[in-house]
Structure formats: structure tokens, C-alpha cells
Amino acid sequence: MRPADVAARTLDLVRAAAGPAAEAEVAVDRRRTALTRFAASAVHQNVADDTTTVRLQLHLGGRTTIVQGTATGAAGLRALVDDAVATAAAAPVDATWPGLARPGPPSGGRTARRSAEDDDPVARAGQVRAFVAALDGLPGAGFCSTRHHTAAYANTAGRFVAGTDTQATLDGVARCGTAEGVARASSSSLAGLDGARLGARAAAKARAGTDPVDLAPGRYQVVLEPTAVADVLWLLGYFGFDGRAYTRGSSFAEPGARQFDPAITIVDDPVGPDSLGLPFDVEGTGRRRLDLVTAGVTRGVVHNRRTARSAGADATGHADTDIPLSGGVATAHLHLLPAGPRCAAVPEVDGPAADAAVADLVGAVTDGLLVTDHFYTRALDPRAVVVTGLTRNGLWRIEGGRVTAPVRNLRFTQSYLRALAPGAVLGVGRHAVDVPAGLTAVVRAPALHLAEWNYTGGSDG
């Protein structure tokens, strides 16, 4: 049965079991995911799963429950509905019920073009083979994944939406001695990835990272490549643009205040022509391009229906059940806008910089660091987004506009908010790329040239 049919069938069962007074919403989500992992240039894990989840939220007699199941047959759906009705009757009174999404656009989502090869383990192996071949003898590790998502939402208020989304990601490192180089990209299809190009980039970084020097801890100008900027964006979203953090007072966000450098504009846009993600959330709220920061001025935060009610705002389509510890609300597809119009591609360059757009920013640095990636970043102070973490997968000294030496990894403790504060952003790259961030998200980011980053120690002590 298609997700849309499962949703309709479930709502019929709810009406029959709970009567016309019940408020109910059903979200049905079929996910076909496949992921090929490799290490030492050989595939060591290769997995696929095909699971449909039915999520029913029922508000009955002032009480609310959510029940979720993987059974989609008639008996399974009936059991799900019966469980919801019984649970709701015994549940505590829900004083903060936000109501259901109302009928209205979008009536249907983007229909993703899906190639048959997106399900094919041989095609994934082909991408991995191309990546490994481009390493030219260096050992490589990483993964190639595809995800096809078919979702439908229906509620007793008459709203119905359905859509599909596909994503493919290739993420790999090359190792040269103790040095590692990384390249990663996401796309809407496996064909949109270029294993050979990514492998060559990872290998170039690894080779440029051998024999690193130690650098004294301190505050340095940095060029953060898109892979590192993705971490900054993701954590700003998690701790700041999250409506739950905002309503509990732990977010930095002050709509209307100039909290960022004028060069910074951040939007959440899962509905653009080449964006990733579904055009509605698990509560059926339609998504749209949402301005979070415009030329340095904070504009808003993302909400699900409950945080919106608490804040006296409208839901923005960001209810989320995927992100661990997210509290039910999360950004969908964050974009940090590049300088100038978006360009589809920029040339490769020699050396460790990811591409010509990164190299442009390196050229403007008199004395600083080129940072490929961040690792294990955790907030010491969520309000100021003070984060500790380490550099990874390539760190270089920049002197006189040129990369001069690889540097051993460093630990940092840095307020991400302060790093992007007015006057702190010296340059924004002209090319933004889609990169995986956090544990399950994808963000679109250019490189950044920042005035200061606080390194507090070497990774080896």
C-alpha cells in the first residue's frame, strides 16, 4: 500500500474508533536506505533497509498521545489505532495542545526523479571504486549512501500532503602516513556524485598534510572550508535557531538584533529548486524558504506547532523526529549564502584547498590557518554557542596568502556566535556546496575567512 493510502486508511479507522470529536494526524514514511562503507579501500559493511513507519497523533478529550508502528496491514493499523485510543484515554491532560495543521497548500510535494541505480549496491560500489582509484595507492575509508523517502500526511481537519525526496552522499578520507584528507558531497541522486573528483581531492589533501608541524595554541585568523562551516551552521541551528531552545530561554536568538556580521545571511530552504528534503514536516506544516539571518540581523527561529504556540508564533514546518535529542524541532536545510550569485561549480586547484573559491580566501590571509574539518564538537555554553572540538582531516598554516605548512591537529574552545559577530567575518566564499552535517542533516555552505579562532591546545597534549 502507498503511504498516502496507509494514511487515509488509518484516519478512517480513527474516525470509526474515536468518533468525530477526535483530532488526529497520521504521518506515513517509507524509507529505503542503502549505505556502503569502506575502510582500507575495501568494502567492510554494506547495508540496506526498507521500512515504513506510521505515526499517529491523537487528541481526544483534552488528552494527547503519539503512537508509532511499522505494521501497515489492516490488522496492524487497527491495533495501532486501538492502542492510540486506549492510551489517550489514560494519558494526562494535555494543557499545551497546539491543534492540527489547517488545510491549504502545498497539496503535493516535489516529485523526485529516482534512478533505478539508486537502489543498486553495484552502483554504490562503482562510486566507491572511483573514489578509491583516484587515491592512487593511498588507503581510503568512508561511505556512499542513498536514501529514498516517500511520505504522506493526513489529518482530521482535512489537510493532506504527500511527497518524495531522494538524497545520495559520498564521504571519504584518504590517508597518507598519519595525515588524512577528506572530501564529501551530497546530491539528490547517486548520479550527481563524482567519486573520482572527490577521491582526487581527498588524496591531494592527505598528501599535502604529511609531516605536520606543531603550532602554539592561541588565537588565529582562519579560513574554514565548507566542511568545517557546516559544523558551525549546524550547531548555530541546534542551539540558537531552534524554537525549543528559544522558548526556554537558552537560545542566543534575538529577532531584529544585529547579532552577526553583515556578510552573513542564513536561510532554511528545503523547497528551492535544488534543495534537499521534504516540502512539509511530520506535523503536515508546509515548508518555505525561511530567513533566519539577513545581512547580519537575526530574523527568526524555526518552530514546530508546540514551540510556535509557546512563542506566540506560527509553525514553520520544522517538527522533526529524526535528530537525536532535538526535542522535536530542527532546521531542515540550512544555507549560508555565498558571496555573489550562486555558481554551479568552481575549478579545482593544486594544493590542499578544496577548490578555487577556498583558494581565493586563502590568498587574502597574511597569517592564519586553513581548516578542513571539525570533529566531536560539543557546547560548553549553549547560549553563547561556546563549543569545544578538534580540527581533523587537514590543517595548514597560511602565510602571505599562501599555504606554507601542514599543522598538527588542534583543540579549540570558541564561541561560534562571536566568530561570526559584526566585524569578525573577513570574507565569504563565492561557492556553496551541500555537505552532511550533524548526524543526519545536510547543509549548504561556502568557505569563510574569520578574524579569529581560539585554539586552546594541541591534540596530543
Partner 1 sequence: MSHFDEAQAAVEAALAAGARYADARVLHRRTESMQARDGDVERLERGESAGVGVRALVGSGWGFQAVGELSTAAARRAGSAAAAIARASATLGGPPVDLITTPPRVGSWASGCAVDPATVPLSTKGDLLAGVTAASRAGGADVAEATYQTWDTRSWFVSSEGHRIDQHIRECGAGMSATAVGDSQTQRRSYPSAFGRYGTRGWDLVTELDLPAHAERIAEEARALLTAPLCPAGETTLILGGEQMSLQIHESVGHAIELDRILGWEAAFAGTSWLELGRLGSLRFGAPLMNITIDPTIPGAVGSFGYDDEGSPAIARDAVRDGIWVGVLAGRDSARAAGLDYAGNVRADGFARLPMVRMSNVGLEPGPHTLEEIIAATDDGILMETNRSYSIDDRRLNFQFGTEIGYEVKNGRLGRMLRNPTYTGISPRFWASMDMLSSEIVPYGLPICGKGQPLQLARPGHPAAPARFRNVRVGVRG
Question: Would you say 208 or 379 has its CB closer to partner 1?
Answer: 379
Backbone angles phi, psi at 208, to 5 degrees: -80, -5
**What does the chain come to in residues?**
461
Of the candidate residues 12, 19, 44, 314, the single one contacting partner 1 (CB under 8 A): 44
Q: Which of residues 278-337 bind partner 1 (CB under 8 A)?
A: 306, 324-325, 328
CB of 100: closest distance to partner 1 in angstroms? Answer: 16
388 binds partner 1 (CB under 8 A): yes
46 binds partner 1 (CB under 8 A): yes
The span of 41-49, 255-263, 270-278, 394-402 binding partner 1 (CB under 8 A) equals: 41-49
Of the candidate residues 192, 356, 418, 451, the single one contacting partner 1 (CB under 8 A): 418
Question: Would you say 162 or 417 has its CB closer to partner 1?
Answer: 417
The span of 9-17, 35-43, 148-156, 343-351 binding partner 1 (CB under 8 A) equals: 35-43
Cα-to-chain-centroid distance, residue 14: 34
Question: Would you say 36 or 265 has its CB closer to partner 1?
Answer: 36
Q: Which of residues 112-141 bind partner 1 (CB under 8 A)?
A: 120-122, 124-125, 128-129, 132, 141
CB of 67: closest distance to partner 1 in angstroms? Answer: 5
Question: Would you say 153 or 246 has its CB closer to partner 1?
Answer: 246
66 binds partner 1 (CB under 8 A): yes
Q: Which of residues 152-191 bind partner 1 (CB under 8 A)?
A: 171-173, 175, 182
Cell of 13: 479507522
Distance, CA of 411 to CA of 457 (rounded, Å)? 5
- DSSP per-residue letters across 139-201: -EEEEEEEEEEEEEEEETTS-EEEEEEEEEEEEEEEEETTEEEEEEEEESSGGG--HHHHHHH
CB of 199: closest distance to partner 1 in angstroms? Answer: 13
CB of 342: closest distance to partner 1 in angstroms? Answer: 29
Residue 166 β-bridge partners: 148
Half-sphere exposure of 71 (CA within 13 A, CB side): 10
Distance, CA of 246 to CA of 325 (rounded, Å)? 15
Question: Would you say 92 or 256 has its CB closer to partner 1?
Answer: 92
Work out the burial of residue 451: count CB atoms within 10 Å of its CB; fewer than 13 is exposed, 13-18 middle, 19 or more buried: middle
39 binds partner 1 (CB under 8 A): yes
Q: Could you tell me the CA-to-CA distances from 215 to 65, 141, 250, 403 in Å, in that order?
A: 55, 28, 35, 14
Cell of 454: 581560539
CB of 168: closest distance to partner 1 in angstroms? Answer: 14
The span of 108-116, 208-216, 256-264, 374-382 binding partner 1 (CB under 8 A) equals: 374-382
CA dihedral of 323, 324, 325, 330, whole degrees rounded to 10: 0
50 binds partner 1 (CB under 8 A): yes
Q: CB neighbours (10 Å) of residue 333?
A: 20
95 binds partner 1 (CB under 8 A): yes
- Those residues whose C-beta lies under 8 Å from the C-beta of residue 231, and which sit 6 or more positions away, are 373, 374, 377, 389, 437
Cell of 320: 522533526
CB of 376: closest distance to partner 1 in angstroms? Answer: 5
Distance, CA of 438 to CA of 239 (rounded, Å)? 12
227 binds partner 1 (CB under 8 A): no
Of the candidate residues 43, 215, 349, 356, the single one contacting partner 1 (CB under 8 A): 43
Q: Please choose, from the candidates 160, 243, 145, the residue with its C-alpha nearest in 3D space to the C-alpha of residue 195.
A: 145
Question: Would you say 53 or 189 has its CB closer to partner 1?
Answer: 53
* Interface size with partner 1, residues (CB under 8 A): 94
- Encoded one letter per residue, x for contact with partner 1 by CB under 8 A and - for no contact, window 185-224 reads ----------------------------------------
Q: CB neighbours (10 Å) of residue 368?
A: 23
Q: Which of residues 231-270 bind partner 1 (CB under 8 A)?
A: 248-250
